[in-house]
Amino acid sequence: MNLLRRVEATRKVVASRSPTSFVQTLPQQQYHKQETPAEEGNITRQNFWGSLESFKAHLRSADFVGFDLELSGVHSVPTFDPSCSDLGSPLHHSYRRIKHLAEKFTVFQVGFALFHLDPVCNRFLAYPYNFYVFPRNDLHLGLPATSLSCEASALEFLASHGFDFNLCIQDGISYLSKTQEVEARALLVNELSPFRLNTCNCSRTINNTSDIVFAEKLRANIEKWHNSICACSPGLRFPGRELAANFLALSKGQIKDFEVPSYGINQCPSFTLQLENHHQVCLAQMVVEKHFKDLVPAIRSDCGSGSSHDVKFFFAKSKEHLDFMKHELEQDCEQTSIKKAVGFRYVVDAIVSSQKPLIGHNCALDLAHIHSKFLSPLPSHVEEFAASLLSNFPSIIDTKCLMRLEPSLQAFWAPRVTSLNVIYSRMFKSKNMGSRNWSLTKDTDKQPQRVQVDIMDGFKRYQDTNTNHLHEAGYDAFMTGCVFAQICQQLHVNVKDLLSAAHDTSKFLNLLNMGRGVLDLNTGKPWETDAVKEDPNQTSVSLTEKEPQCAED
């Protein structure tokens, strides 16, 4: 009698918690959190997957891509390595330093601004994306932990410009480099074999009273759904529409038509359990494996990120079908986990695949970070670095190099003042187009006009160019693209002509400012020219133009 009272009391507690509510079957692609469009160009992991498709669409029509990064630090001196035989070369010394910086510090924000020339209206359409990124460990597979090195002055500088560190850490988009993805896939095969839910100890018996009540209630509810399916057709050959199992409908005897195609997870009858914890997940698996041999359980790959656990059960019409679905779920689980971890790398992959020109300003360090964080570890020698960059980005323009090396552009910047903001202000905020800063020729009739750049709807964050978003990667990428567009206007050349080998200005393609000297990515060697004279008063390698406290321009 006491045992019956305990069971009844436990039944009431379990019923009040409603741990086994059934929800409508979700398509596989909706396993992730619901996506929302990019809010004013700011992209986090909350809206990343929805924004990725729009980014790819805008990229397809883009003529070039401006880019910029915000980093956790930019100042550090590598330790002396006596084994290096090339320390005497300024170019190798510069590369050794940017390699050290890229390997030591972290990327917090990446900006890609996509520019499309509208020939009808003779204007540029701009789509500036501002991505928050963070190197979190989503897979928990034993990959080397990512340590964060930060420079105090860099953090202080970013904070002074309104950088949201909480947003970056909590909602920054995860990423894996291509090299890390290969390592993760190898580890994940072992982690997921033979099936995700088999980590539960299903051989144990259920002795706890509350567990007994929970398991029995669960078995009864699943049995209703299972019997309804089997009753539809004795031969398990089901015509009609796919079943959307819902506990409330089943409890009222309302059964919908459904079908079971030959194979395939997405087309199979299924239902989802919302459970409170991992213990209930194990209990559910034990019930299914004991009483329902034709059901395949699968836990959602992102179930660990919230307070509830969702387990989806698929109905198999035969032993062969069941084995096939287990294999398919295993493969899908691997792909879903990897996809989530790769994250932002898909943006870089899209740019690499597009082969669009990449436009940066004093961007050698940024490119080293992109290579290190999203492609593969940086090679030891500058020649290998140059070759690897070109294999991924065949057309790179460093606007600082271009303006230093093209005499007709030097009116835009005073000696030793080449920061991006200064150049952008002179090009787009100067009221007097005929001022000495703008006067490239005495013939005012031939004076180039200011290029028109329109920021498109959905990116209102940067539509007011007087708003100070300096040192936000998306805005700096936008300014970089605008500067390049104006350079093309000043040189009276089409953007595509500037990148053409037949045009005289193509000699500035794939040249990077390395501080003391210019790196020719085509050869991996210093650019052979007398056009650039080194400043004899320069005593240190300047890889980044800085405003006070680490502003990267």
Rounded to the nearest 10 degrees, the angle between the axes of helix 382-392 and helix 90-104 is 60
d(CA 543, CA 512): 10
pLDDT at 524 over 60: yes
pLDDT at residue 468 in the model: 73
The pair of three-digit structure tokens given for residue 193, joined into one six-digit string: 């074999």
Mean pLDDT of 285-293: 81
pLDDT at residue 295 in the model: 79
pLDDT at 67 over 70: yes
Q: Which residue has the higher pLDDT, 20 or 389?
A: 389
- Under a CB-based contact definition with an 8 Å cutoff, are residues 175 and 373 in contact? yes
pLDDT at 41 over 80: no
- Identify which of 220, 302, 240, 247 has the alpha carbon closest to the alpha carbon of residue 24: 247
Name residues whose C-beta falls within 8 Å of residue 15's C-beta, 6 or more positions apart in sequence.
Answer: 217
Q: Which residue has the higher pLDDT, 267 or 42?
A: 42
Q: Which residue has the higher pLDDT, 304 or 203?
A: 203
Provide, rounded to the nearest whole percent, the portion of the chain with pLDDT above 70. Answer: 64
pLDDT at 199 over 70: no
Other C-beta atoms within 10 Å of 412: how many? 22
The domains located in the chain, with CATH, are 2-31+195-336 (no CATH), 42-175+344-523 (3.30.420.10)
Mean pLDDT of 277-304: 74
pLDDT at 45 over 70: yes
pLDDT at residue 39 in the model: 53
Q: What is the pLDDT of residues 138-188, one digit of tens each?
A: 776 666 677 889 999 999 999 999 999 999 999 999 999 999 998 888 877
When the pLDDT of each residue in the chain is averaged and rounded to a whole number, the result is 74
- Identify which of 115, 126, 130 has the alpha carbon closest to the alpha carbon of residue 47: 130
- Rounded to 5°, angle at Cα 360 from 513 and 350: 130
What does the radius of gyration of the chain's CA atoms come to, in whole angstroms?
A: 30
Q: Which residue has the higher pLDDT, 362 or 529?
A: 362
Q: Which residue has the higher pLDDT, 74 or 263?
A: 74
Q: What is the pLDDT of residues 324-381, one digit of tens each?
A: 766 666 666 667 778 888 999 999 999 999 999 999 999 999 999 999 999 999 999 9
pTM (two decimals) = 0.69
Q: Which residue has the higher pLDDT, 432 or 228?
A: 228
